[in-house]
């Protein structure tokens, strides 16, 4: 396999860790995955990361000699001034020398980038935005992640710790966010936010289909149920989704006003409800974005690669990051 | 003067147009200015722009042969797909072939950029941010302009029509902005916004020093008066300025969260009140910005070059823009 070039991408998630071997055409030729068991010491987790990565290479018929770097996406940042991983809440790590730990096991150049940035990069390289060079991606899951790609490269701010689009302010003095700030986009557009809002609303509207769909136990409410009820025209669910779309459109309009990217990509669990989100969102953006009439607005599309986007993006970090 | 290189920068304002000859050390060696008389046809205005520019060169002891391009800042955008000036509200122009008009009079490469971008670029080249490569600037005047500089180059969005920071959303479903949208930063942080807010407030608090300072005629209220009253501890003025700073900090926190620039620059008339704005703003940002404690925040500073920033930035557009 020595003629062709291969890339090793890694996605460290809170639940699973996945290593993927990617070919030069951005195809994942082999994947290996094990549970992360977050909360363990960094020594154990980084040891496992290396083992899973080597196993993926081995099962793809390759060795470390066949690749030139190890690209890793994780839900945190490395501060380029200190080379420390700043904070990874799900893992219980703060200011840890992650490069040192990783390089004990694999002696290749290592590139670490925020997982939302990797996902955006993967979608631009090989997914929904492969026709474009400039995209903004929002990952709508438990939280809201952001990724910015300019000229086919990740833009993560001057010190590589920006592009935190989920923590831009959407509602002045609004709801308290998990990050401690008030009114962040994440507090209105994550699945957590949608579920919180729905739980509040069902108390005064107990006749809603939402409660039927979760067996009258409001603790069972999740994003899929709210979207399904809206699909079946349940009035409360429709109202909740309408408001959700208004919030999301307002957030996206800010990113358009700043970046005027070619396309906006939505990923994460909430983007599964493509049929309910995309058309109203695109309409709403046209009326709620600066100078939309004069200069047009980019379309919102849904991500195509799912979790693979982050692996592909991570695998190609050597093309986007300076070392 | 042939050994040294010179640059021609032009600032087309709503009131005056100014041409400046700038040396390679970013010093303006000569300036010429005439009233713009906005509202005239583009043929007349562009003719005057060329005349003023040639006069500036002549009086600096130079000719068109001594320079390699004509850089122009104006309050609008050229759409790179059509080469038309999109809209310049103060001038009554919409979709005009501005390059064609200008090149009839001066046959040099012409670079046109939004004036707020030019000002940010000028401050990074030669002013308050000359030690830095990455800055975000807000121009707080009648409106709110935005400029983004990355790696000592202007970033104006994929299609060069972004970076409109004044029209990012600050207050969800907030006050109607002049642009037609709701809740734009400009609707809360321009001098127009400050004056509107103050006029509303004085009706219920007629004992305020603000009214004394404008001879009890609230139509005479301007930004300087409100800041002066706050400086003298007038309770209403202090409240208004406090709220103004809270709004501005919320807006800036979004830009920090996205760009994590090295520095934030404030320009425009409102930034004259540096003594009242900077310290509380920097304090407020520390508590109201994502991950400020973990990774720090850039400082807010005031612009140093005034209107010259736009001329210097325009003069060096050939270094930042592709042709």
The C-alpha atoms of residue A56 and residue B113 are separated, in whole angstroms, by 50
User: Does some domain include residue B109?
Assistant: yes
User: Does some domain include residue A1?
Assistant: no
ipTM confidence:
0.95
Residues A172 and A290 in one domain: yes
pLDDT at B80: 84
Residues A294 and A314 in one domain: no
Residues A226 and A190 in one domain: yes
* Any B CB within 8 A of A11 CB: no
User: Does some domain include residue B214?
Assistant: yes
Closest alpha carbon within chain B to A87 = B294
Q: Are B18 and B10 in contact (CB under 8 A)?
A: yes
**Which residues in chain A are closer than 8 Å to B148, comparing Cβ atoms?**
258
Residues B43 and B24 in one domain: yes
Please list the pLDDT of chain B residue by residue as tens digits (323 residues): 456 899 999 999 989 999 999 999 999 999 999 999 999 999 999 999 999 999 999 999 999 999 999 999 999 888 888 889 988 878 889 899 999 999 999 999 999 999 999 999 999 999 999 999 999 999 999 999 999 999 999 999 998 999 999 999 999 999 999 999 999 999 999 999 999 999 999 999 999 999 999 999 999 999 999 999 999 999 999 999 999 999 999 999 999 999 999 999 999 999 999 999 999 999 999 999 999 988 899 999 999 999 999 999 999 999 998 65
| Residues of chain A scoring pLDDT < 50 | 1
Between positions 291 and 310 of B, the ones with CB within 8 A of A are: 291, 294-295
The C-alpha atoms of residue B68 and residue A180 are separated, in whole angstroms, by 52
**Which residues in chain B are closer than 8 Å to A168, comparing Cβ atoms?**
254, 257-258
Chains A, B: CB pairs < 8 Å: 134
Residues A142 and A189 in one domain: yes
Token duo for residue A190: 């994550």
pLDDT at B46: 97
Tally of structural domains, chain B: 2
- Domain that residue B91 falls in: 6-123+308-320
User: Does some domain include residue B173?
Assistant: yes
pLDDT at A254: 98
Residue B295 has its nearest CB partner, among A86, A261, A294, at A86
Query: String of b and e for B123-161 (b: at least 16 CB within 10 Å)?
Result: bbbbbbbeebebbbbbbbbbbbbbbbbbebebbbbbbbb
Q: Are B248 and B294 in contact (CB under 8 A)?
A: no
Q: What is the pLDDT of residues A276-323, one digit of tens each?
A: 999 999 999 999 999 998 889 999 999 999 999 999 999 999 999 865
Residues A21 and A155 in one domain: no
Q: Using the beta-carbon criterion (under 8 Å), do A172 and B168 form an inter-chain contact? A: no
Residues B70 and B175 in one domain: no
pLDDT at B322: 62
Residues B248 and B285 in one domain: yes
Residues B216 and B289 in one domain: yes
pTM for the model: 0.96
Residues B112 and B148 in one domain: no
* Any A CB within 8 A of B152 CB: no
Q: Using the beta-carbon criterion (under 8 Å), do A161 and B295 form an inter-chain contact? A: yes
Residues B220 and B261 in one domain: yes
User: What phi, psi does B118 have (nearest 5°)?
Assistant: -60, -40
* Any B CB within 8 A of A185 CB: no
Between positions 191 and 220 of A, the ones with CB within 8 A of B are: none
Residues A154 and A97 in one domain: no
Domain harbouring A316, CATH code: 3.30.420.40
User: Does some domain include residue B282?
Assistant: yes
* Any A CB within 8 A of B1 CB: no
User: Does some domain include residue B1?
Assistant: no
């Amino acid at each position: 396999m020595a003629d062709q070039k291969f890339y090793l991408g890694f996605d460290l998630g809170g639940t699973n860790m996945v290593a993927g071997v990617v070919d030069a055409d951005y195809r994942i030729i082999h994947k290996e995955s094990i549970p992360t068991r977050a909360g363990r010491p960094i020594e154990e987790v980084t040891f496992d990361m290396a083992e899973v990565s080597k196993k993926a290479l081995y099962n793809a018929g390759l060795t470390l000699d066949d690749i030139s770097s190890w690209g890793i996406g994780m839900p945190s940042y490395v501060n380029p001034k200190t080379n420390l991983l700043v904070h990874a809440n799900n893992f219980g790590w703060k200011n840890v020398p992650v490069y040192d730990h990783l390089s004990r096991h694999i002696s290749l150049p290592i590139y670490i980038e925020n997982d939302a940035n990797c996902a955006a990069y993967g979608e631009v390289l090989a997914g929904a935005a492969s026709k474009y060079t400039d995209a903004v991606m929002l990952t709508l899951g438990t939280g809201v992640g952001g990724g910015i790609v300019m000229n086919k490269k990740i833009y993560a701010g001057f010190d590589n710790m920006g592009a935190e689009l989920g923590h831009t302010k959407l509602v002045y003095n609004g709801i308290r966010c998990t990050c401690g700030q008030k009114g962040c986009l994440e507090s209105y557009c994550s699945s957590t936010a949608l579920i919180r809002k729905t739980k509040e609303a069902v108390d005064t509207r107990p006749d809603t289909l939402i409660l039927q769909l979760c067996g009258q136990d409001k603790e069972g409410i999740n994003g899929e149920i709210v979207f399904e009820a809206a699909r079946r025209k349940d009035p409360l669910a429709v109202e909740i989704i309408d408001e959700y779309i208004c919030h999301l459109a307002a957030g996206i309009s800010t990113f358009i006003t700043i970046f005027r990217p070619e396309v906006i990509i939505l990923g994460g669990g909430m983007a599964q409800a493509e049929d309910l989100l995309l058309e109203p969102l695109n309409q709403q953006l046209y009326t709620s974005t600066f100078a939309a009439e004069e200069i047009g607005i980019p379309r919102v599309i849904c991500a195509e690669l799912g979790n693979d986007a982050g692996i592909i993006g991570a695998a190609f970090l050597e093309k986007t990051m300076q070392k």
